[in-house]
Every structure is written in structure tokens, then in C-alpha cells.
């Protein structure tokens, strides 16, 4: 009888009987392989267990030669078994011997077997063993068979991790006493001193076999209902931070109501697993499938699935998440394997200082939200969850990418000094926030801030910025589960304008493509995405999308001023085409009787070098230009801004870059066109000083930089600086940074 027609509960019942018996661990393993082989009608079934040197040792087999047990070892990465351990994923082959990784071991007598199925035995996300079946005939194992083997692997994981087997690797318990420093990739700057709050670790599933299936089904259903209620409550919460992220929570909600997910879990319980084991089983299975798609949208869904599964497990195990949230230390550094965006929103942002994620990538939703909470963020920190304990003191230094767990007293003191110094500076800058930025020689400088989400808006007042020089509209699109509708866009822009009364906000039209991925938009493979189909190029090829955004902006700004900035213009014709579409939208709005903005200003970003040589034609046609120095410099120096190895290779104060910026400033002045700069360099006091020397009087930066840059402005004499700077540029000095720093020191400029 093929496996598909056999009830999975037969295997589960047998496994349960073995685990409940009083036999020795080795005898249990021997019975398990027998049961698997007979259930799956496999000629071979084997268990390999990982050793501390990462080799995999054959611990039990049915079908291979018995002499190989405890003598056959596969070195790390060796053979198909090594491959499964390395990837942490099942391997299903109709003819294993044809696979390049196949490694023939004569002592096993396996040369007569062709089909092969192996699954990892995973505990706390680490592969601690491999379970395989083999058959003589060539065939691919069915999905049900893969699932059955994975269920068995789950039971085995528990048995191995309980330390029953001498020599086997057991996931390390945390090392409470010792200091540990781990390295990761910083994704948001900052220094956080505080205490670790382990984002509730996955509760371990200890009981696998249901004693009373109807009762387990009831537990599962009740837990599912509670999860749905919790998510619905999150959606009702209308605080600004939550309001903005509603769409993310809606995606999680959709998954929570997914019938397929619930059905799979109920099926697993009906087959004889406990509700907890069923949640874990289905989670592992779906995660593998989602990750396989290689698509970032589905990868993100796998985080949402983890989020929901963890919520379910916590409820099933009676863990009181609410109580744990309220016990959060006031200086919490959250540590998580991974975290769904909705999970971060559960925490009180006032109590959070930092976020450390073992996996995680730059574009995941949770990072975007963490940034808007102003947290220091570190991702890709291997083994951090195992090393950290709830309540441990810790220091997260995003400037070096280091995470110090249980640091020594000396280290704490050194960092406390650093933090105090930062806090003092912050307090001084805070005092300056109402003072206008005027240089010592009377030049008024407009210090704007860059923003992109509603949660950024309160920084406008806290920082004392004059306005918003760059509103990156794509962020709303990046955190949404699908393309935001016109009305959703309009609502967001209206709130932005409402939150900045009397201040200018420059909305940049959608700048996606390149590194800014919209998970729901079909991706085309591009060899060089930074030079590819992005920003205005995409907008002009999808005029409907662009016009919808313009329509939303026009409606939001009815009766007030509107500034639209076009990113990545490389040719005059693109500006003309975009202006034409904007004009059409203005005509459409008037025709339908909608109130128009009092003024609609249109400008471009100068990010592509070619545009500099068209300025005489472009400047008369625009109301303003703003230099996107991040992109402009990466193209000028042919150095990818996202690639750490080259990004810092060329100084933003290189004479070539400064000459280009001077040229732009002078052309714009000659045409009487408003000009500004909104790249990262504007936020660094020394670079900002150089920009003032070149003639810039409007710059836009991250809100945290407004204070330090204003302090510089207040202590500067631009005339003296200009002379010195031009002299350095004209003789192509290779030490401009150093010379400017010395100049600042001599002139007592606050850098
Ligand atoms: C720039 O390129 O300098 C810029 C401000 O745009 P972004 O960083 O969003 O590409
Ligand atoms: Mg740019």
C-alpha cells in the first residue's frame, strides 16, 4: 500500500510507543529506524548524529550494514548527508548516485540503492542530525513521505537534545557568567546601553503525541481564535506608530485567517500530534516551501508565519506575553532570532533602545519600523540568541557593529562615558533648536530634514529643522503589503502636510528599483540594478502609477503649497515627460472641480552626472534642484554605495566631487534657481561646512544631524572658509579633509 493511503497516525502511534518504552536510547533508535523503514516501505532507514567537530556519525540503521553503525563518519559537508546538514533542508532524489555530492562508502553496502530522501534533525535552528530513507528503485518520495520523515526528525531532535547520546552535539546553553562580544551588520546607527530582553524565544515543544485528539483539536482552535483576536486588537490600536503600520498587520491578519494553514495544523493533530507539535511541524514545512521561492515577498511572509506560529505556541503553553511585555526593562535591547514587524509593534517604543536580530536583512519590514523608532539595529549576528539571557546587561555599538553581552565593568564605564558625552551633546543641540541657523557673517542657512514615514514627523519639531527637504515617498510603498491605492497615498500625504504646518515639504516621487525593492512588484533580473530600471524611469514607463501618485499629492496639498521632486533624471526629455504628466493631472483635477494647491513647484534631483551638462537647459524649467550626493558620488567615482568594500574608498571631500558640486551651485545661482543638497554628506558637520563654502545655503539631512550641523553653522564665517576651500580645490589637494579639519580647529568652528 503506498504511503499516501496509509494513515500518518500509524507511524505517530508507533513512535509514541517507542518513546514511552523504558528501553535504552540506542534500542529506541534501532526501533525508530525499523518503524520508519516498514512504514515508508523503504529498504534503508538511517539516523546520523552531529558530533562536536561537525562530522555526522551513523547512529542507527535499518538496511545498511550494521558494522557501519558508530564507525561511519561523514566529515563536515561530505556527501548528501553533509549537504542536508549544511543547508538544513530536505533532499529528495530519484537517483542519489548521480548527484555530484554523492559520496560512496563501501562499508555501508549502499551501492544498490538509488532513491534517497534525507531530512535535517533541527533543534533551536541548528541541525543536530540527519534522518534518511533509501530504496533500490528509482523514485521520488511524495510530499506526504517528506512530511512523515520530518515529523520523525522532530521527535528525534528532542531525544538527541536531551543529552541521551554520548558525544552528540546539544545546542549550547547560554554562558551566563562570561562576557561575549559578537559582530553583526549595523542597519541603524546608535549606541545603546541597557539590558537584554529576549524577544520571547520559541517555547520548546516537549510533548509530541496527543493523548486525546478531540481535546487537542479544541486547544488548537481556541489558541487560533485568541491569536486572531490579538491581531484584531493590534489593528484597532490607533497610536501614530501603529496607525502607519496597519497594512503590515493586515498582512499578518490575512495569514492568521488562512484556511490552508489552519487545516494543515488540524490534519497534523488528527494524525496524533499535540497542538504544539502540529504548529511546529506545519511551520517548519511551510517555511521551507516559502524560502524555496527565493522571492523576497514570500521570504517576508515566512517571518509573518514565524510570528503567528510563535504567538500560537505561547498561548498553547500558557505563556503570558502581555505580562512579559509589561516586565520589559526600561532600557531594553531586544534580541531575536527573527521578528515580524507586528511583533515589534507589540513593544512599548519608549522602553526600547536597540534591536539585535540573528538573521534579518536590510529591507525587512521590522528594520524599517525599528529605524522609525530610532533604535540602534544590528542584524546577522550569529548565535546571539544562544549567547544572550534575559536581563543580561549589554552594549550595542552600531558604529562598530559590536554587541557586548555581559560586558566587563571597565567596558561599561568606558561606554557610559561615551553615552553621557553623546547625551550632553544632544542636550546642547536640543537647546539650539529654536535658534535660526545664521553664520557669524550673517548668512542664513536652511537646515531641512529627510523623512519618509509618518513616525518621522515629530522629529521636525524635536530637531528644529526648517522643513522637509526630502520626503522619500517610497517608504510607504515598501512597508505596504501591496501597492497603496490613491486614497491611501492621499491620506498619508495629507497627514504629513498636516504635521508640518507652515513648513515646506518636498515630496520625492516614487524612487523604487535599485536596492529599494517593493516585495509585491514583479522583479526583473538586472545585472546592475543601481543603473537599471528605477525611479523616474519606472514612473515614465508606468505612467498610470506616476499619475496616481501625483493625483494623491495634488489632492493632499489642496489649498497649500506642493513641491514635487523627480528622482534620477538623466535627460531633459524625462523632465519634460514628467512635467507633462503632472500638467495633465492638474488639468484633470481642475476639470473635476478639485481645489488645487496654491502653488505646485516641480524640481529634480541631481544624481546622474550627465544631467550636470544639461543644467543650462533644465534650470529655467524647474522651480528647484536638489543634489542627491549619495547617488551622484557613487556614479562619479564608480563606487557602489551599498558595497562596504568600495563605498568608503573615495572621500566625499575629494577635489573632483567638490568641483562638481561647485559647478552645480554656480550654475543654479546664475539661473536664479533654488538649489539644495539632500544626500548623507549634508548631515556630517565637516562636509556640511564644505557645502556652505561652495555656496549651498539649503541642505537636508537625518533629523539627528540638525543639531550638530547647526552648531557648526553658528560658529562659522563663510567668507574665510570659501577662500580657503577654493584654494584647496583648485590645487587638487589630496588632503582636503585634514586641511578643513585643521581650519575648523583654528577658527574655533564647532565640528
Ligand atoms: C541621494 O541619492 O543622495 C538621495 C538623497 O537619494 P537616496 O539616498 O534615497 O537614493
Ligand atoms: Mg538617490
Ligand 1 nearest atom to the CA of residue 472, by list position: 9
**Which residues are known catalytic residues?**
365, 678
DSSP 3-state of 405 = strand
Residue 296 — very low, low, confident or very high, per pLDDT cuts 50/70/90?
Answer: low
- Is pLDDT at 586 greater than 90 in this prediction? yes
Per-residue pLDDT at 589 exceeds 80: yes
Beta carbon of 472 within 6 Å of any ligand 1 atom = yes
**DSSP one-letter string for 71-131:** T-EEPTT-HHHHHHHHHTS-EEES-GGGSTT----GGGTGGG--EEEEEEEEETTEEEEEE
Res 3: pLDDT: 44
pLDDT digit string, tens, across residues 354-384: 999 987 665 566 777 787 788 999 998 988 9
- What is the band of 239 on the pLDDT scale with cuts at 50, 70, 90? low
Q: Give yes or no for a contact between 454 and 495, defined as CB atoms under 8 angstroms apart.
A: yes
Among the listed ranges 218-227, 237-246, 410-419, 579-588, which one has the minimum average pLDDT value? 237-246
Mean pLDDT across the chain, nearest whole number? Answer: 88
Which ligand has an atom closest to residue 652 CA? 1
CA distance linking residue 89 with residue 578, whole number of Å: 48
Ligand at minimal distance from the CA of 516 is: 1
Question: Once rounded to an integer, what is the mean pLDDT over residues 611-636?
Answer: 97
Residue 68 has pLDDT above 70, yes or no: yes
The pLDDT of residue 175 is above 60? no
Of 363, 368, 567, best ligand 1 pocket probe by most atoms within 8 Å of the beta carbon: 567
Tell me the pLDDT band of 403, cut-offs 50, 70 and 90. Answer: very high
Residue 178's pLDDT band (cuts 50, 70, 90) = confident
**Cβ(469) – ligand 1 distance below 6 Å:** no
Q: Which atom of ligand 1 is found nearest the CA of 634?
A: 2
- Chain Cα centroid distance, residue 602: 33
- Mean pLDDT in residue range 568-585: 98
Rounded CA separation 164/121 (Å): 15
Name the closest-CA residue to atom 4, ligand 1.
628
**Nearest ligand to the C-alpha atom of residue 627:** 1
1-15, 134-148, 476-490: which has the minimum mean pLDDT? 1-15
In this prediction, residue 203 carries a pLDDT of 66
How much is the pLDDT for 25? 84
Work out the average pLDDT over 202-206. Answer: 69
Q: What is the pLDDT of residue 295?
A: 67
Backbone angles phi, psi at 203, to 5 degrees: -65, 135
Can you tell me the mean pLDDT for 330-335?
94
Question: pLDDT at position 549, please?
Answer: 98
pLDDT for residue 559 is more than 90 = yes
Q: What is the sign of the dihedral through the CA atoms of 435, 436, 437 and 439?
A: negative
Which has the higher per-residue pLDDT, 469 or 308?
A: 469
Decide whether any atom of ligand 1 lies within 6 Å of the 641 Cβ: no
| Residue with CA nearest ligand 1 atom 3 | 628
Average pLDDT over residues 408-420: 87
**Residue 670 or residue 703, greater confidence:** 670
CB atoms within 10 A of CB 735: 12
Whether 338 shows a pLDDT value over 90: the answer reads no
User: Measuring CA to CA, which residue among 493, 491, 458 is closest to residue 472?
Assistant: 493
- Is 715 exposed, middle or buried (CB count within 10 Å of its CB: 0-12, 13-18, 19+)? middle
- Say what the pLDDT of residue 439 is: 97
Q: How far is the CA of 472 from the centre of ligand 1 (A)?
A: 9
Say yes or no to pLDDT of 60 above 50. yes
With a 6 A CB cut-off, is 628 part of the ligand 1 pocket? Answer: yes
* CA 262/CA 222 separation, integer angstroms: 12
End-to-end CA distance of the chain, in Å? 79
**643 or 436, higher pLDDT:** 436
Q: Which three cell numbers stand for residue 137?
A: 528503485
Residue 224 has pLDDT above 90, yes or no: yes
**Residue 329 in contact with residue 347, Cβ under 8 Å?**
no
Under the banding of pLDDT at 50, 70 and 90, the label for residue 57 is very high
Query: Which residue minimizes the CA distance to atom 8 of ligand 1?
Result: 630
Q: How far is the CA of 682 from the centre of ligand 2 (A)?
A: 14
Calculate how far, in angstroms, residue 678's C-alpha sits from the geometric centre of ligand 1.
7
pLDDT of 317 above 50 = yes
What local confidence, expressed as pLDDT, does residue 741 receive?
Answer: 97
At residue 12, does pLDDT exceed 90?
Answer: no
Q: What mean pLDDT do residues 121-130 have?
A: 83
What pLDDT does 170 receive? 58
Q: What is the pLDDT of residues 706-751, one digit of tens each?
A: 999 999 999 999 999 999 999 999 999 999 999 999 999 999 999 9
Does position 166 have pLDDT exceeding 70, yes or no? no
**Ligand 2 centroid distance, CA of 567 (Å):** 7
**202 band by pLDDT with thresholds 50, 70 and 90:** low
Q: Determine which residue's CA is closest to atom 9 belonging to ligand 1.
A: 472
| Other CB atoms within 10 Å distance of the CB of residue 147 | 22
Helix-strand-coil split of the chain, %, nearest 5: 50, 15, 35
pLDDT band at 189 (very low <50, low <70, confident <90, very high): confident
Of 267 and 599, the structure prediction assigns the larger pLDDT to 599
C-alpha neighbours within 13 Å on the C-beta side of residue 554: 23
At 116 the pLDDT is 95
- Cα 333 to ligand 2 centre (Å): 31
Decide if 556 contacts 595 (C-beta within 8 A).
Answer: no
Output phi, psi for 25, to 5 deg: -55, -45
Euclidean distance between CA atoms 9 and 216, whole angstroms: 14
With a pLDDT cut of 90, the percent of the chain lying above it is 52
**DSSP symbol at 239:** -
Amino acid at each position: 500500500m503506498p504511503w499516501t493511503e496509509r494513515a500518518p497516525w500509524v507511524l505517530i502511534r508507533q513512535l509514541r510507543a517507542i518513546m514511552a518504552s523504558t528501553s535504552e536510547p540506542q534500542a529506541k533508535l534501532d526501533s525508530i529506524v525499523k518503524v520508519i523503514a516498514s512504514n515508508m516501505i523503504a529498504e534503508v532507514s538511517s539516523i546520523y548524529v552531529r558530533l562536536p567537530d561537525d562530522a555526522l556519525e551513523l547512529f542507527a540503521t535499518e538496511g545498511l550494514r550494521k558494522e557501519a553503525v558508530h564507525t561511519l563518519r561523514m566529515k563536515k559537508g561530505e556527501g548528501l548527508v553533509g549537504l542536508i546538514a549544511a543547508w538544513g533542508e530536505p533532499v529528495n532524489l530519484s537517483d542519489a548516485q548521480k548527484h555530484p555530492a554523492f559520496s560512496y562508502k563501501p562499508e555501508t553496502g549502499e551501492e544498490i540503492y538509488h532513491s534517497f530522501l534525507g531530512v535535517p534533525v533541527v533543534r533551536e535552528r541548528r541541525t543536530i542530525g540527519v534522518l534518511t530513507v533509501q530504496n533500490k528503485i528509482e523514485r521520488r518520495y511524495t510530499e506526504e513521505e517528506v512530511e512523515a520523515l520530518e515529523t520523525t526528525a522532530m521527535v528525534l531532535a528532542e531525544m538527541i537534545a536531551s543529552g541521551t547520546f554520548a558525544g552528540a552535539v546539544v545546542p549550547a546553553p547560554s554562558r551566563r557568567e562570561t562576557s561575549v562580544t559578537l559582530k553583526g551588520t549595523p542597519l541603524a546607527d546608535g549606541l545603546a546601553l541597557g539590558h537584554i530582553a529576549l524577544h520571547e524565544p520559541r517555547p520548546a515543544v516537549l510533548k509530541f503525541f496527543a493523548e486525546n485528539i478531540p481535546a487537542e483539536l479544541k486547544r488548537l482552535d481556541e489558541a487560533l481564535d485568541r491569536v486572531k483576536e490579538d491581531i484584531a486588537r493590534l489593528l484597532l490600536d490607533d497610536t501614530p506608530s501603529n496607525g502607519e503600520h496597519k497594512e503590515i498587520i493586515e498582512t499578518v491578519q490575512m495569514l492568521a485567517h488562512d484556511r490552508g494553514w489552519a487545516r494543515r495544523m488540524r490534519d497534523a493533530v488528527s494524525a496524533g500530534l499535540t497542538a504544539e507539535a502540529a504548529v511546529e511541524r506545519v511551520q517548519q514545512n511551510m517555511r521551507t516551501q516559502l524560502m524555496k521561492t527565493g522571492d523576497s515577498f514570500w521570504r517576508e511572509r515566512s517571518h509573518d508565519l514565524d510570528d503567528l506560529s510563535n504567538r500560537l505556541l505561547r498561548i498553547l503553553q500558557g505563556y503570558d506575553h502581555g505580562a512579559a511585555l509589561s516586565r520589559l526593562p526600561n532600557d531594553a535591547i531586544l534580541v531575536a532570532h527573527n521578528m515580524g514587524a507586528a511583533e515589534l509593534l507589540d513593544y512599548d517604543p519608549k522602553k526600547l533602545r536597540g534591536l539585535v536580530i540573528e538573521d534579518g536583512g536590510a529591507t525587512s519590514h521590522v528594520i524599517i519600523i525599528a529605524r522609525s523608532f530610532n533604535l540602534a539595529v544590528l542584524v546577522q549576528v550569529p548565535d546571539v540568541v544562544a549567547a544572550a539571557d534575559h536581563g543580561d546587561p549589554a552594549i550595542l555599538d552600531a558604529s562598530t557593529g559590536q554587541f557586548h553581552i555581559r560586558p566587563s565593568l571597565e567596558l561599561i564605564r568606558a561606554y557610559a562615558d561615551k553615552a553621557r558625552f553623546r547625551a550632553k551633546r544632544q542636550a546642547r543641540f536640543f537647546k539650539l533648536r529654536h535658534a535660526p541657523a545664521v553664520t557669524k557673517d550673517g548668512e542664513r542657512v536652511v537646515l531641512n530634514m529627510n523623512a519618509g514615514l509618518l513616525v518621522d514627523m515629530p522629529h521636525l519639531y524635536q530637531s528644529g529643522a526648517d522643513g522637509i527637504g526630502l520626503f522619500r515617498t517610497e517608504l510607504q510603498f515598501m512597508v505596504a503589503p501591496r501597492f497603496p491605492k490613491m486614497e491611501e497615498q492621499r491620506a498619508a500625504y495629507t497627514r504629513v502636510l498636516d504635521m508640518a504646518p507652515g513648513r515646506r515639504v518636498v515630496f520625492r516621487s516614487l524612487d523604487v528599483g535599485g536596492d529599494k525593492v517593493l516585495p509585491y512588484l514583479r522583479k526583473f533580473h538586472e545585472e546592475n540594478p543601481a543603473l537599471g530600471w528605477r525611479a523616474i524611469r519606472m514612473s515614465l514607463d508606468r505612467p498610470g502609477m506616476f499619475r496616481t501618485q501625483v493625483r494623491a499629492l495634488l489632492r493632499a496639498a489642496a489649498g497649500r503649497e506642493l513641491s514635487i521632486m523627480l528622482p534620477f533624471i538623466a535627460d531633459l526629455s524625462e523632465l519634460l515627460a514628467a512635467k507633462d504628466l503632472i500638467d495633465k493631472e492638474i488639468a484633470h483635477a481642475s476639470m473635476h472641480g478639485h481645489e488645487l494647491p496654491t502653488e505646485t513647484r516641480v524640481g529634480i534631483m541631481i544624481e546622474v552626472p550627465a544631467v550636470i551638462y544639461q543644467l543650462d537647459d533644465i534650470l529655467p524649467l524647474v522651480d528647484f534642484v536638489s543634489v542627491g550626493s549619495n547617488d551622484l558620488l557613487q556614479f562619479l567615482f564608480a563606487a557602489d554605495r551599498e558595497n562596504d568594500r568600495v563605498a568608503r574608498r573615495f572621500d566625499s571631500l575629494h577635489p573632483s566631487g567638490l568641483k562638481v558640486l561647485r559647478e552645480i551651485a554656480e550654475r543654479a545661482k546664475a539661473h536664479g534657481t533654488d538649489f539644495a543638497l539632500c544626500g548623507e554628506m549634508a548631515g556630517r558637520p565637516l562636509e556640511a561646512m564644505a557645502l556652505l563654502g561652495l555656496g549651498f545655503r539649503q541642505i537636508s539631512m537625518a533629523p539627528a544631524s540638525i543639531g550638530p550641523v547647526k552648531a557648526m553653522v553658528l560658529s562659522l564665517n563663510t567668507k574665510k572658509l570659501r577662500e580657503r576651500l577654493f584654494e584647496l580645490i583648485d590645487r587638487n589637494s589630496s588632503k582636503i579633509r585634514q586641511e578643513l579639519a585643521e581650519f575648523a580647529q583654528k577658527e574655533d568652528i564647532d565640528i
